[in-house]
Amino acid sequence: MNEKYKESMLKEDALIDKVVVITGGGTGLGKSMAKYFLGIGAKVVITSRKLAVLEETVKELSEQTGGEIFAVECDVRKYEQIENLLAKSIEKFGKVNVLVNNAAGNFITPTERLSHRAFDIITDIVLKGTYYNTLAFGKYWIKEKMDATVLNIVTTYAWTGSAFVVPSASAKAGVLALTRSLAVEWAKYGIRFNAIAPGPFPTKGAWDRLFPEDLKDLLNVEKKIPLGRVGDHQELANLAAYLVSDYSAFMNGEVVTLDGGEWLKGAGEFNMLESIPMEMWDEIEKGIRGKK
Ligand code: HXC
Ligand code: NAP
């Protein structure tokens, strides 16, 4: 099979004038985006709660790419820490013109088992973290009259909802609404907003909490995806790089699904007919035509 999607897509200097802040950038998809953005010229600030993890990633990615990357500890639920993140990023690189709201918290559980605090924890990271960051960075861009781009990482259940991840689904739906609302409201300031809704992309963070080993057979993700495979980090990084670059200058308020057709397979009324062998269709058709 052609595996072009595992390769870099944009020109080597596609993000040359960009300073990008990625929340949750020390691990998983945030780290993969950071690596690719550095490879195509961006300066990158990664941030999360665990400074040791961030510093390890800074070391690894600067060795691998030779790019300029910097870590700032920040809990996205604390507005004053976000103000510090912004100040430190400007101090280091002179400006910030891209924000990627990628940090998240999530786990599977029946909703009735949740404490109210657990619900708050998830929605505070995902929704409040996103609007706190967006507000702090937005005020700075508006004051400085700077063009800027925000990329929000949501999920496909932001619009379908999903049982067993209710706090995450509620919060991601809010992030999608925020994306579309501010795409209109802040376009006048030259600030664009877009989102990516990934299907399953293997990461330790997601797999430990959402696809535990004990439920391996039940949660067989490849089987749920029409294209028969999970996502590759590079293909998400390619899309993210395009969305934060000036190549996507006319794209605003969009959410791009990258899931191999997974959510539509779950949604289509007759999609389960895929399991019927082709040779049975003569018989089925005869039966249907016979009813005339
Ligand atoms: C029920 C749970 C629980 C569980 C934690 N809690 N785990 N309740 N079932 N499995 C409860 C705790 O009892 C506590 O409530 C509250 O949640 C907070 O838990 P803490 O451990 O104190 O919080 P903290 O250390 O801040 O950890 C936050 C976290 C953790 C969200 C719980 O999972 C985390 O750090 N996650 C970050 C990374 C992550 O989640 N990545 C996955 C992203 S994937 P009480 O009331 O007892 O105090 C994703 C989309 C995937 O988002 C889509 C796939 C297709
Ligand atoms: P991940 O590696 O666990 O990433 C989550 C990151 O968020 C971690 O780096 C974590 O770092 C950070 N974080 C959590 N709470 C934070 C807080 N309060 N403040 C600052 N940072 C915080 O998981 P991932 O799979 O790469 O997920 C990345 C994004 O993709 C998330 O938005 C997720 O919802 C989305 N997504 C993933 C998938 C998938 O299949 N992987 C599918 C759909 C959507 P610290 O613990 O150091 O804070």
What's the pLDDT score for residue 85?
98
Task: Using alpha carbons, list the distances in angstroms from residue 95 to 5, 115, 241, 270.
Answer: 32, 41, 18, 51
Domain ranges of the chain: 7-290
What's the pLDDT score for residue 191?
98
Beta strands in 24-166 (DSSP E): 43-48, 69-73, 98-101, 148-153
Query: Residues near ligand 1 with C-beta < 6 Å?
Result: 104-107, 109, 113-115, 117-118, 121-122, 155, 168, 200, 205-206, 209-210
* pLDDT for 33 beyond 90: yes
* pLDDT for 1 beyond 90: no
User: Which residues fall within 8 angstroms of residue 24, CB to CB, at 6 or more apart?
Assistant: 30, 47, 48, 102, 103, 104
Q: What is the mean pLDDT of the chain?
A: 97
What's the pLDDT score for residue 112?
98
- Closest ligand 2 atom number to CA of residue 50: 47
**DSSP one-letter code for 268:** -
- Closest ligand 2 atom number to CA of residue 124: 18
Query: Residues near ligand 2 with C-beta < 6 Å?
Result: 23-24, 26-30, 48-50, 53, 74-77, 102-105, 125, 129, 153, 155, 198, 200-201, 203, 205-206
What's the pLDDT score for residue 252?
98
Is-contact 41 12, C-beta < 8 A?
Answer: yes
* pLDDT for 28 beyond 90: yes
Q: How confident is the model at residue 278 (pLDDT cuts 50, 70, 90)?
A: very high
Single-letter residue type at 59: K
Instruction: Please identify, in words, the CATH class of the domain defined by 7-290.
Output: alpha beta
What is the arithmetic mean of pLDDT over 220-243? 96
Task: Give, using CA atoms, the residue closest to atom 40 of ligand 1.
Answer: 105
- Give residue-wise pLDDT tens across range 99-134: 999 999 999 999 999 999 999 999 999 999 999 999
User: How far away, in angstroms, is 197 Cα from ligand 2 center?
Assistant: 13
User: How far away, in angstroms, is 113 Cα from ligand 1 center?
Assistant: 13
User: How far away, in angstroms, is 207 Cα from ligand 1 center?
Assistant: 13
* Tokens encoding 180: 């579309």
Task: Give, using CA atoms, the residue closest to atom 23 of ligand 2.
Answer: 205
User: How far away, in angstroms, is 128 Cα from ligand 2 center?
Assistant: 14
What is the arithmetic mean of pLDDT over 135-152? 98
Task: Give, using CA atoms, the residue closest to atom 13 of ligand 1.
Answer: 118
What is the arithmetic mean of pLDDT over 49-63? 98
* Tokens encoding 33: 């985006």
- Give residue-wise pLDDT tens across range 57-113: 999 999 999 999 999 999 999 999 999 999 999 999 999 999 999 999 999 999 999
* pLDDT for 292 beyond 80: no
Q: Which residues are catalytic?
A: 157
- Give residue-wise pLDDT tens across range 144-163: 999 999 999 999 999 999 99
- Closest ligand 1 atom number to CA of residue 109: 9
What's the pLDDT score for residue 50?
98
What is the arithmetic mean of pLDDT over 171-190? 98
User: Which residues fall within 8 angstroms of residue 95, CB to CB, at 6 or more apart?
Assistant: 19, 144, 146
- DSSP H or E stretch at residue 256: strand 255-258
What's the pLDDT score for residue 216?
87
User: How far away, in angstroms, is 287 Cα from ligand 2 center?
Assistant: 51
Is-contact 85 7, C-beta < 8 A?
Answer: no
Task: Give, using CA atoms, the residue closest to atom 17 of ligand 1.
Answer: 118
